[in-house]
A and B are shown apart, each in its own frame.
Chain A
Amino acid sequence: MGDELRFHFNIDGDNFTSAGEASVEVKKKLRQLGFPPDVIRRVSIAMYEGEINMVIHARGGDADVLVYPDRIVIILEDHGPGIEDIDLAMQEGYSTAPDSVRALGFGAGMGLPNMKRYTEEMHVESTLGVGTKITMVVNVQ
């Protein structure tokens, strides 16, 4: 701790179109910092999926990105409804997204699986009625 660079974003829960701005910003910053393209791609996709989830399922939230020389940590925290069954939610294809969201191309139930696929570590803590906190780590090889 202490040496990391930290970026904070507030994710607007009402705006579907602007969802992704934080991830695109992180991508830009990591590129300026000279991280490898593959690391940048994995971080920004994992973060985007989390960002979209907070907009669709949790009325927005907060995103923090901690940049260390050897790893990037993404922390997403919301005060939405929480996830009842985390194992079920992690399965490919499981989704409670409404049709309006599906019409935009989201809601395929592949968001959490993508977050797992692109990160080395992923922890999901969730309490019904309280919110969800997701911590992901991408190692810089």
Chain B
Amino acid sequence: MTVSEMASALDLTPVSLGDTQREVTGGYTGDLLSWVMGRAQSGDAWVTIMSNANIVAVATLADTAAVILAEGVLLEPEVAELARSKGINVYTSPLSAFVLCGKLAALL
């Protein structure tokens, strides 16, 4: 499934868009950045409530397909701009990380 298909299936609101035709091959959730870099796989959708600028570097380096901000978390305008400049897909959803992951797991 592509990032864009996942976004419609989960009713996600875009915050920053890059290559939305990229394939989502798995999922990972966590807010501790080193855990994400150590355990998430390239192509995962990463569900988190972290919103500081470092998530952009982590998503870039870990090569995740998309970041999904749970619990209605939003990015500060500078962070959203940074994500856009790096071509990172970021979405937000009012749902909890638990519910989002459940839905995502059922889709994949």
Give residues of chain A (12-68) contacting chain B, Cβ–Cβ below 8 Å. 16-17, 19-21, 23-24, 27, 37-38, 41, 44-45, 48-49
Contacts known (A17-B53, A24-B61, A48-B57); A41 close to B42, Cβ less than 8 A: yes
Task: Identify which of B12-20, B26-34, B97-105 touches chain A.
Answer: B26-34
In the complex, chain B residues 36-61 whose Cβ is within 8 Å of any chain A Cβ = 37-38, 42, 50, 52-55, 57-58, 60-61
Residue in contact with B38 in the complex, picked from A23, A104, A105, A110, CB distance below 8 Å: A110
A44: chain B residues at CB < 8 Å are 61
Summed over the interface, the residue pairs from A and B with CB atoms below 8 Å come to a total of 67
Do A24 and B57 contact each other (CB < 8 Å), given the known contacts A105-B50, A108-B32? yes
Q: What residues on A are CB-neighbors of B52 within 8 Å? A: 17, 104-105
Query: With A24-B86, A113-B38 in contact, do A106 and B61 touch (Cβ < 8 Å)?
Result: no
In the complex, what residues of B have CB within 8 A of residue A105's CB? 31-33, 50, 52, 54-55
**Once the chains are docked, how many angstroms separate the CA of A48 from the CA of B34?**
10
Within 8 Å of chain B (Cβ to Cβ): is A80?
no
- Chain A residues closer than 8 Å to B55, beta-carbon distance: 105
Q: A20-B57, A24-B86, A44-B61 are in contact. Are A49 and B42 (CB under 8 A)?
A: no
With A and B bound together, what is the CA distance between A93 and B35 in angstroms? 10
Inter-chain contact B42/A45, CB cutoff 8 Å? no
B: number of interface residues (CB 8 Å): 20
Contact A20 B61 (CB under 8 A): yes
Q: Are A48 and B63 in contact (CB under 8 A)?
A: no
Fill in one digit per residue for B71-107: 1 if any A CB lies within 8 Å of its CB, else 0.
0000000000000001000000000000000000000
Closest to B41 in A: A41
Q: Is the CB of B42 within 8 A of A106?
A: no
Q: Verify A106–B34 contact, CB threshold 8 A.
A: yes
CB neighbours (8 Å) of A16 from chain B are: 54
Whether A41 contacts B31 by the Cβ 8 Å rule is: no
Binding site for A on B (CB under 8 A): 31-35, 37-38, 42, 50, 52-55, 57-58, 60-63, 86
Known: A37-B63, A105-B55. 5 other contacts (CB 8 A): A17-B52, A24-B86, A48-B58, A49-B34, A110-B35
